């Protein structure tokens, strides 16, 4: 997530009857962001569009403090998409380290290959072209277009959705999956000036990351606490569907991580016996390994050997 240069504030294009609500929110949150934004490498001008794209892949479901060292190493090794595209996909998985959800590494590699082949090695500026890249969905396309190129797109990650749910809708948490109503609200709150819209996207995301957090929210530090519908309603408890947990210990995800750790450390094919040692339960271990193969993260070889994928 980058921090676009500070523009003049503007009115939302689609606000309609909600314009009196939208403009004060925009101005207050952007002013707060100007004073409180973190200095992150992907927000600096030298990061460029590729640095923004890499950060967006890495930050999905992963906190900033875990991403920072891997991001720095990644950009030092592959400063342009074409540099990554020349490597085997398994090298992307290896460099991903312990960030988790390693399929993101394969998707980022696939996007780099497509950028090199279709766009002359430059991250495309057009939202539709970004969306057409492999592994890129609506959120990532909007985020890259907004944060890298200063364009006007609603950028709805978990943090933004939580801020909007509380400040405008008056509920503690947004739905588990993004809804049409949330997208409509995001468009309503979006300033019409492109640079202001890009800064609003970054600012509302930062507010959710630092202040309007999922747990232990800091309402006393929130610049829009006086306008927050959820706080004004007495902060009612969430009464929707149960929120998805993030359990890890003992899951197939943990086993997959242990298997991949062995393969990342090895630069030659690994025998089945070496993988068998990482987890005591053979059925779960086999299921996890089969899943890694099916996902393209591990390549089986004759003779019971395995390696990270070369193609």
CATH architecture of 158-233: Orthogonal Bundle (1.10)
Residues shown for the chain: 311
Reported as a pLDDT band with limits 50, 70 and 90, residue 246 is low
The whole-number average pLDDT for the span 249-266 is 94
CATH class of 252-307: mainly alpha
User: CB under 8 Å to 164, separation ≥6 — which residues?
Assistant: 174, 182, 185, 186, 189, 204
* Per-residue pLDDT reduced to its tens digit, 146-165: 999 999 999 999 999 999 99
Q: What is the per-residue pLDDT for 4?
A: 52
Q: Provide the mean pLDDT of the chain.
A: 92
End-to-end CA distance of the chain: give it in Å, rounded. Answer: 30
Topology of domain 37-149 in CATH is Endonuclease III; domain 1 (1.10.340)
Rounded CA-CA distance 166/164 in Å is: 5
The whole-number average pLDDT for the span 170-175 is 95
Q: Which helix (H) or strand (E) holds 271?
A: strand 270-271
* Per-residue pLDDT reduced to its tens digit, 218-228: 999 999 999 99
Residues marked active site are found at: 56
DSSP assignments along 35-103, one per residue = HH----GGGSGGGHHHHHHHHHHHHTTS-HHHHHHHHHHHHHH-SSHHHHHTS-HHHHHHHHTTSS-TH
Q: Can you give the residue ranges of every domain in the chain?
A: 37-149, 158-233, 252-307
Map residue 300 onto helix, strand or coil: strand
Q: What is the per-residue pLDDT for 14?
A: 37
Residues 11/197, Cβ–Cβ less than 8 Å: no
């Amino acid at each position: 997530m980058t921090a676009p240069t500070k523009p003049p504030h503007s009115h939302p294009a689609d606000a309609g009857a909600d314009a009196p609500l939208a403009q004060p929110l925009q101005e207050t949150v952007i002013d707060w962001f100007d004073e409180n934004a973190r200095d992150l490498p992907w927000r600096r001008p030298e990061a460029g569009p590729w640095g923004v794209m890499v950060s967006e892949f890495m930050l999905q479901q992963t906190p900033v403090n875990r991403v920072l060292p891997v991001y720095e190493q990644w950009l030092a090794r592959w400063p342009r998409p074409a540099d990554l595209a020349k490597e085997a996909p398994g090298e992307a998985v290896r460099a991903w380290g312990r960030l988790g959800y390693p399929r993101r590494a394969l998707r980022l590699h696939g996007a780099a290959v497509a950028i090199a082949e279709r766009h002359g090695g430059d991250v495309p500026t057009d939202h539709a072209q970004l969306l057409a890249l492999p592994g890129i969905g609506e959120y990532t396309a909007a985020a890259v277009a907004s944060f890298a190129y200063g364009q006007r797109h609603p950028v709805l990650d978990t943090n933004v959705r939580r801020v909007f749910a509380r400040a405008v809708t008056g509920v503690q948490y947004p739905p588990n999956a993004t809804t049409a109503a949330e997208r409509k609200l995001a468009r309503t709150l979006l300033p019409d000036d492109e640079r202001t819209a890009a800064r609003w996207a970054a600012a509302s995301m930062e507010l959710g990351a630092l202040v309007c957090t999922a747990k232990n929210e800091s309402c006393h530090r929130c610049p829009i606490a006086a306008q927050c519908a959820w706080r004004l309603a007495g902060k009612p408890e969430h009464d929707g569907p149960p929120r998805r947990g993030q359990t890890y210990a003992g899951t197939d995800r943990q086993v997959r991580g242990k298997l991949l750790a062995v393969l990342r450390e090895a630069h030659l094919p690994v025998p089945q016996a070496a993988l068998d040692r990482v987890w005591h339960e053979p059925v779960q271990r086999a299921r996890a390994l089969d899943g890694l193969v099916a996902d393209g993260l591990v390549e089986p070889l004759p003779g019971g050997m395995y390696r990270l994928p070369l193609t």
